Amino acid sequence: MTAMQDAIREGVNEMPEPTPDQPIVRYRDIRKSFGDFEVLKGLDLDIKQGEKITIIGPSGSGKTTIIRMLMTLEEPTSGTIIVDGEPLWHEVVKGELVSAREKHLRRVRGKIGMVFQQYNLFPHMTILKNVTEAPIHVLGMPKQEAKKRALAMLEKVGLQDHVHKYPIQLSGGQQQRVAIARALVMEPKVMLFDEVTSALDPELVGEVLQVIKDIAQTTNMTMILVTHEMDFAREISDRVVFIDKGKIVEQGPPEQVLENPKTERLNTFLKHFR
Ligand code: ADP
C-alpha cells in the first residue's frame, strides 16, 4: 500500500510525496481580493521544475500579487498553492496555531528566493556581509562556508572586485546584481524576479538582464519573472503567460505568444512595445 493510500485509509489530510515529473509550483483556483476589488479571479497555473516563465500584462492586472503570494507576502482569499509537493497557503495551514503556521511557512519559504524592484540592501553592511547575512543567521551556516559561497555568487554576478564596498558606493545596476547574489546564495528551488529593472536608469538595465540570462542558461533553477522587457522575455522564457483583469488570457512559447497573439487584448497590449 502506498503512503498516499495509507493516508487516505487513515483519513489523514496529507499531500503525497513529490515525484520528479510533478510541477514544482501549482496554483489552484486562486482568488485574491483587496477590499471589494478582486485582483485574481480563479488562477490555475502549473510550473515545471527548471521552467523559466515570464508573466506579462497591463499594470494592475495582478502579476506582482501572483508572485508575492508565492513568497508568502500576500495570502490568497481562496484556493491552494503547492510548492514542491507541499501546500503553502492551505486550509489546514490557515487553521493551524500561529506558531505552527509560521514554522511551516518559513520552511516552505526557504525554497523560494525573490528579487524586488527596489533592491533593499542593508546600507550599513558591506556587499559581502549583505550576501552572507542570511546563510549565517537563517541557515546557521558556518561563517567561512558562507563567505566562500557568497564570494562565488558575487563573482557569478561580476562583482568580485566590489565585495568590501558599501551599497551606496555602487550603481543601481550593481546593487541589483548584489540583490540577485543575495537571493541565489540561499540556493532556492524557485527564483522570483519582480520587475527588477524598472527602477534602473536605462543604461544599467542591460547588465542586470545579462546576469539573469546567464543564470537562466547555466542552471536548472525554476524562474518566474514579471517584466516589461519583451526582448528579454522572448530570449529567456520557456513560456510566456499573459494576464489581464485577473485571468490568464494566453500562454505558450514566446514565439507564439509574442509574435502571434490570438486575442485582441494581447495584440493591443503588445503594440505598446513595438
Ligand atoms: P501588477 O503587478 O500587474 O501591476 P499588482 O498585482 O501589483 O498588479 O496589483 C493588482 C491590483 O491590486 C492593483 O490595482 C493594486 O493597486 C492592487 N493591490 C495590490 N496590492 C494591494 C494591497 N496590498 N492593498 C490594496 N490593493 C492592492
The number of residues in the chain equals: 274
Q: Is any atom of ligand 1 closer than 6 Å to the C-beta of 62? A: yes
Q: Is the pLDDT of residue 85 over 80?
A: yes
Q: Is any atom of ligand 1 closer than 6 Å to the C-beta of 60? A: yes
Closest of 112, 134, 132, 131 to residue 181, by C-alpha: 131
Ligand 1 atom at shortest distance from the alpha carbon of 59: 4
Q: Is any atom of ligand 1 closer than 6 Å to the C-beta of 167? A: no
- pLDDT of res. 2: 42
Closest of 264, 233, 237, 232 to residue 250, by C-alpha: 264
- With a CB cutoff of 8 Å and minimum separation 6, the contacts of 157 are 177, 178, 180, 181, 211
For all residues of the chain together, what is the average pLDDT? 88
C-alpha cell at 36: 471589494
Ligand 1 atom at shortest distance from the alpha carbon of 58: 3
pLDDT in tens, 93-111: 566 666 667 777 777 788 9
- pLDDT of res. 87: 82
Scanning 80-126, the segments in alpha helix (DSSP H) are: 91-95, 98-109
Q: Is any atom of ligand 1 closer than 6 Å to the C-beta of 175? A: no
Predicted confidence band of residue 244 (pLDDT cuts 50, 70, 90): very high
Q: Is the pLDDT of residue 17 over 60?
A: no
Ligand 1 atom at shortest distance from the alpha carbon of 62: 6
Predicted confidence band of residue 18 (pLDDT cuts 50, 70, 90): low
Q: Is the pLDDT of residue 91 over 80?
A: no
Which residues does residue 248 pair with via DSSP β-bridges, in sequence order? 243
Q: Is any atom of ligand 1 closer than 6 Å to the C-beta of 73? A: no
